[in-house]
Structure 1
Amino acid sequence: MQPQDLPPLPEQPGVYLWKTGETILYVGKAKSLKARVSSYFHAEGKSARVAHEADRLDFIVVRDEVEALLLEANLIKQYRPRYNVLMKDDKHYPFLKLTQEEWPMLLIVRRVQNDGARYWGPFPDGGAVRRIKRLVDRVFKLRKNSGIPFKKRRFPCLNYSMGRCFAPCVSKAEPDLYAQEVQKVADLLDGNVERLFEGLQAQMQEAARAQDFERAAEIRDQIAAVRSFFGTNQQAYDVELGDLDFIGFARAGDYAMLQHYQMRGGQMLGRISRFVEGVKEASDPELLEAFLRDYYLEATPLPPLVLLPFELEAEAAFSEFLSRKGRKVEVRVPQRGDKTRLVELAQSNAQTALEAELKLQERRGNHPGLKGLMDVLGLSRSPYRIEGYDISNLMGESAVGSITVFEGGRPKKAEYRRIKIKGLKGQPDDFFSMEQTVARRFSGSLAENLPIPDLLLIDGGLGQVRAAQKGLRAAGLEIPLVGLAKREETLILPDGQTIALPLTHPALQLLIYVRDETHNNGLQFHRKLRNAKTLKSIFDDIPGIGPARKKALLHHFSTLEELRAMSVEELARLPGLDRRSAQAVLKALNQAPVALGTPETQYP
């Protein structure tokens, strides 16, 4: 793109989007759109490449730099442009959520949603957030088991009998008392522990004056439990420092480490680390801004002070941006005293963590297939996390979407998932199934609990690839994806382009590994579903096998082979069965014409 190809640009603040076709290459913000965009044609390195590669520029004018910052953050999060610095992380840190309902409840979640609920987090220590949740569940009588949204029950759960719930699910709760309990939980999570203690003391004294000694004793126990938790589970660093966040930064060549520390009431709550690769051409301010934008877009509640390791041109804009969340927040570099020493500590820890991470990377070895994929597919960074997708079915029956996860070229089996396809009407439809699998992966609980991958591998041709792309769009995401045809082992891109690689190419070998693992994962689950369905139909026809015995058999066995291997005596010992029913089951199985569970033909 040449300067004369630019649209007329105003000298107002806004956000600009460099594009090639409909693909967004880079999103940036500017105090003056005209001055900032024009500078790309006098720059070198990444900026020059972006301007040269783009064939069009879109822009959005906003009222001020703070609005530009917020819009830039949301666009980067939505489109994940190739040339923007993205703070990739291998986990989603937990939040505590107090739902917005007539009878609120406290949950641990991984995503902040615009649903009116109150959120606290992210918490750098997952163990700490679980301890806080257990404390709240034990001490405060909020509902725990009546669902989201709230559902009525016929009988209260055990928490009511243990004195840990007001039981609104059976209309036993008083709204005023419940609201007081909700406020106590909010005070606790806001860090207003002294205010919480004062309120509890006042309620205990009031209950005692009214001679409601049982209620007074309950409140006394609440005070003791909260004091015990905050007295023994956290260590004070310096009470006079109050509430603040501070950040450490270190870099070495193509790598950087950013560490975020939380301090509340002078107590160090923990840290969150981001290790970033492929940043050789990014400036220190660009990396720090990317981290602030990524972290504080969701973090809540915020402290009054955020300490930086070095100055940013947009410090004032970040201060105003964070202050829009409800309290005034100052973002600055400390100049002297204890706050300076905190940032120095963070800097030292970030440098140590970076050196340790680099040594770990060397020990692991960089998988050559990841670098090969980056080059072959034109990705801006190595695809550390790859997810594979495949569909397994037999004439539309028991269709299953299989998802596998590879990180650093190695399978991460704890995050494998299988999805039962819904809505098929007896006919196979791999395109429909693939679209549904991808859309469901990136929505609901799976989206909350699994990080966004760097690359999707689709087992199939152009139809399956475009179906997966349609599923991504339904979820509002743009993620690089590639298909792998089975026989030719050819890479297929969504635009129809094909890439043929020699079988010895490390990128192709890695993709074949991911594809085969995904296929086997789905095949195992598909067999299990199909076998269970066949077992159910066989048990339906056996005299003397009613619903209870059928359930017991299905609980213990998933294939005919497992059952056939049992003797009458062994089968008769199962719960609910006797010798006569065991004989009937084995007789029916021996008359079954087809043995299930035999391996299907495998593709090479």
Structure 2
Amino acid sequence: METGEVRTRATDLPREPGVYQFQAGETTLYVGKAVDLRSRVRSYTDPRSTRIRGMVDRAETIDFAVTDTETQALLLEANLIKRNQPRYNVRLTDDKSYPLVQLTDHEVPRITVTRDPEEGAIAYGPFTDKGRVETVVKALREVYGARGCSDHKYEGRERPCLDYEMGLCSAPCTGEIGVESYLEDVASVRRFFEGETGVLADPLEREMEAAAQEAAFERAANLRDELEAVRAFHGDGESAVSSRSADGTTDVLAAAIEGDIARVARLHSENGQLVDRSRHRLDRPSIETGNGNSGEGAAEATDGFGSTPATVLSAFLTQYYAERDLPDVVLLAEQPTDEDVVAWLETQGVSVRVPSAGREARLVELALKNARRRSGRDNELAALGDRLGIDRPDRIEGFDVSHAGGRDVVGSNVCFVDGSADTAAYRRKKLPEQNDDYESMRKLIRWRATRAVEGRDDRPDPDLLLVDGGEGQLGAAMDALSAVGWDVPVVGLAKADEIVITPDGPRDWPSDATELHLLQRVRDEAHRFAVQYHQSLRDEVSTVLDEVPGVGPETRRRLLRRFGSVENVRSASIADLTDVDGVGEATAETIRSRL
């Protein structure tokens, strides 16, 4: 693209905050954010580095999107970088984007929180606080009955699902509400996301006051919390300051660069105690080398083209915290080049510091040592291989089984590559109904092994298999591997004592061993994925409670609203159960015995 073309295109842009993209055909070359789109894009008519000039020369078009605030521009930039992986941006690999809320393109739209909106959906966001977004969406569903089920579950239902019983959906699937009336409610949902806070706040406030008058104080307190989240949702671009303890959580970050790979080391402490360590890889921009003068370097740092640790930290901060809770304090080895990133963190109540002395400086130095270390015994993957006597397990697959008393039995198969979750390689399997965890694990591993041996699985063979469980689950997995003839190392991780179970016997590793933390992450993700799939399939919650004498539809609804799931009802004490309106001691005893 010639300089004149850039100037002409810039003249057509608004003087508002937003995001711009340099593109070559369908390929996104670079994504940037701007407080003033016109001024920012116009600056590319006089590139101050060879690298930037090379990008502009390759570009064919410039696309843009206007945002309401600078914070939204910052988050949208991070989302687009994660989605498009432009070669001229610093990119954090194997990570998530910021959450959005979508209303799907369906005759009866559903509402969901997502990071990858469906084609044709109306999407709102992105947002920084996933917990707040989920609270608001739940409140909208309670007030307006917007459905959250998949289209597959929506079609062909003969009776309303549990969401209807819990007051989260008006059940258009079975005609409990007409399509026209449902769409009117969806229009109210859209009005809320377009800025009309009262559409949701007013009915919540009325319900809260009614609950207080009826002495339903727990319900009133829950509604109060929802109301606070709703009222804060539209304030300052959804960037209200969170209340955090001064002695809470601290993340220490440092970056190091080696060739085309940058690594960021993260130390995490809680109440002054170091509780976690991790390293993360970022791909640097694959672009031509500039002439190296100081003026050019300054331009590169500003635009995200630079190769300094400070620039890497700028890219890392927004992309890493896309789906994670922010810490109270972030300690950095260097000041990030992007001032907007620091400003955003501070508006979220995070204290950002670059310490020069004392304990905080020693933590930063430790993070720097972690960032600079090469693969070896200190690396969690290499250390795991050494512990198990195998090659470095770059690719680990985790397995778990979930069911409810032998019903709706499902298995999960998650994948971690280079220590990070590779969600595109996740698989799940519905298994025969049986109340036998060992046999279910045997069938799950045999399914994976058979597909691999017969060449029906499009994924590479893993370096290590991890089963969630102890000796029984490991034995079942080994039986399946032997029967199929798939030669892959396998271990188990028992949840109760965090003991690693190997074919040679149990291994009690130190609780602070990074290789143990890696196995725990894989195990926990396999468990989460299995439980999520199981919950999406089962319809046993309402059935089980329906069978309990003394529990009618209204009492069941109160129980589920109070405890959130049948599992929580099952684990509740008699005192907790009798706190629910309509549940006396006799009914509580019956619930405990039947569940």
Normalising by the smaller structure, the TM-score range is 0.3 to 0.5
Higher RCO structure (Cα 8 Å, ≥6 apart) = 2
What is the TM-score when the length of structure 2 is the normalising length?
0.39
Structure (1 or 2) with the larger CA radius of gyration = 1
What is the TM-score when the length of structure 1 is the normalising length?
0.38
